[in-house]
Structure 1
Amino acid sequence: MTQAHNRLVRIVTAGSVDDGKSTLIGRILHDSKALMSDQVNALANARFSRAEAGDLDLSFVTDGLESEREQGITIDVAYRYFATPETSFIVIDAPGHEQYTRNMVTGASNADVAIVLVDVSRLNRGHLKVQTRRHATIAHLLGLKVVFAVNKMDLVNWSQSAFGDAAESLKRLSRSLGIADPAIVPINARSGDNVVHREQTAAWYQGPSLIQILQQHGGGTDLSDLPLRFPIQRVVRVDGHTHSARRGYAGRIETGRVRIGDEVTIGPHKVKAHISGIETYDQSLLEAEAGLSVTLYLDEEVDAARGDVLSDGAAVYVNRLVADLCWLDDQAWSPGRRYVLQQGTASPSARINSILHVRDMVDLTEVRGGEGLKLNDIALVEIQTQNPILGDLFAANPKTGAFILVDPTTNQTAAAGMIRSTEAFNQPSFEPVG
């Protein structure tokens, strides 16, 4: 590739099972010339192909597991790369089946944009399927830009009224979720109509193709422009017990940038120090930014350990927070149950104090005072931690404003959470979780 791409867009496909997500990605890769000739030949000779004679089953581009191809459903998350002259894309194929919602959450957590597909031929008077609503809700909660693709338009003869019914349902869904001005495009992923190139199949649609819409969204947040957040992964000692021994703090800069001489605060203890050295595995640096794994040295000895965070001083620590939760565990939540809250390298004990509401996936209403959480529920909850954690809101910092809850008895990830509001950890009402 000779031309530099000035934008990177990470896309996740979402929606209900069999709505055509894997086929869409295969079509995008095929039409953007991102498939090698041997890959095309492999598709032509693939087992379990459901394509008509002479056609390729493009869903097999991402459905690499034989069990996926045999069953015709996506199970694992697959990542692929392609580019246009203006934009580079990383595309993430996430499962649509309700059983694999946790996989979809994993894929969506790494994306900037979600394409939510809808099979127009299977809409019942415009009513959207529950999993379509759930995926759109998760994408919106994760802060993704949402693009709706009304797929399989060929099965309704590119009916304008059928597309209109689907678009109206998607607009109602968007209003209930707070998605402003959603992009809605009619496509046929199997043939490629309106995917990479604008087609004249339907004279009534004069809008852009799906790829043109995605290019308009540009890249995601520049993590280097956010406040410094450096969770300590490991304390290292250089030169052992010699006179020149130094203590360093190894980890990855999640957000922000750091330079020699910068003042930092080590939290949650709020001890201040200055950066005296920045090193990678093979060189010393004057500065470093988000995404780089480094060892930082301070100008004085401080009591810091794994789980502590070096910040620019503006960080707030809390032990009570309100968060959106996607429940991912087969085992339902029960009151009083303890979990490990994993935020970066910090892992304090935590519990869910109360459920403020659970979202009904049929009509997206908020059921107040829910008494339990079960697999695939989406809820707003109040959480209390034994030790203080970073109180970054997800909307302001998606890297440190997110966390997971882990069941300490099974090591199963019980839930993925996004912090929505916080309460200062030194409130007199604080009671240790224990």
Structure 2
Amino acid sequence: MLIFREPRLSARNAFKAAFGALAVLIVFPYAQAFAQDATAVANTGDTAWMLTSTVLVLLMTIPGVALFYGGMVRGKNVLATTMQSFAIACVASVLWMVAGYSLAFSDGGSANAFIGGLSKAFFAGVTPASLTGTIPEYVFITFQMTFAIITPALIVGAFAERMKFSALLIFTILWLFIVYVPVAHWVWGGGFLGGDGVLDFAGGTVVHINSGIAGLVVALMLGKRDGYGQVNMAPHNLVYSLIGASLLWVGWFGFNAGSAGGANGIAAVAMVNTQVAAAAAALSWMVVEWLATKRPSVLGIISGAVAGLVGITPAAGFVNPAGALMIGVASGAGCYFAAVKLKHWLGYDDSLDAFGVHGVGGIIGALLTGLFADAAINPLSEGATVLKQLYGVVVTMLYTALMTALIVFVIRIFMGLRVSKATEIEGLDINLHGETVHS
């Protein structure tokens, strides 16, 4: 029989064993935490690009949209129009902190297909160490905040020169929570549209179709401007509009290339696609207008550029430059038709062509994303179809139209929407804000 005896530990070996056990107890938790953090590390290059992109997108609203729209209204309404963009930037920023971000981008539990939750209301739980991908979550929050700012600011173009400022503020609050936030969640926050394969790289659906359809609904329910079609309503200063459009073009690189989430190859593709589509659409609108009226206008070429920027937005990170060129040409010609011909034939007063450019351009771009999506550019393009994109467009249009109409109806009952005829004739600047500007 073999007898095994437990070996005796010398005093030296016992000390070493005890020290080793103590070291494990002290070091292991930190080593484990380090191993977990190693899978999510902030990238300084990505962070720098996203900080830059955030500033560029904010530049699109103030001063971009403010000047673009401000130059196209009559001189008596320029301050009121630019004030709207500035005030919306302030209101949307606060609402995004209160609950907008949380409802759009946090987990909504059993309702997550439709809306997020309130776990991150007031940015609860977000710290400087929190990450979204490879960037600090605070950067992602602010980047998305700029999208929430510009979307309601774009709607203003459809009903310029006739809405009460107080009504605009209430409309912005209600519309942001009831319309923008849910649609953003559906597409980007884990909701059903994104889950069903609807592609929207930077906001063709969330921003442009959303704002364009909302603008059309408000314009129809508010009615035409006093004297529409009978008095001269030409832009008071197209230089302002040209500067605004130029700022939009530059800022749009943050809008589209920033939506890649970092400084990477997809951002590079989105950047070149943005430039190609904007230029192609500007030329497309200019040529069509030149053929139709015998004169290429400044308003036409800048409107065409914006139409191209809108059209490429859903496709920027999914198509190759050849596809971007085709989307630009189609957007320029299509938006010219909507803004000039369709509006005239149907007789609605979309004052600054918010629907004609953003609504129609967003629809064209969203549908053509399904046609030109290239898996060699972005693997997420695999399986994209026009039918899937049409599904996303139709759902967004129906929801936005219905909810916007409901919001307008409620505001009209409780506080009224439109300024008095006397105020409209004299001008919103002096009557609503007690100020005037001399161009």
- TM interval, shorter chain, is under 0.3
Structure whose alpha-carbon radius of gyration is higher: 2
Q: Determine which structure has the larger helix proportion and give its number.
A: 2
TM-score norm. by structure 1 comes to 0.22
RCO comparison, higher one (Cα < 8 Å, 6+): 2
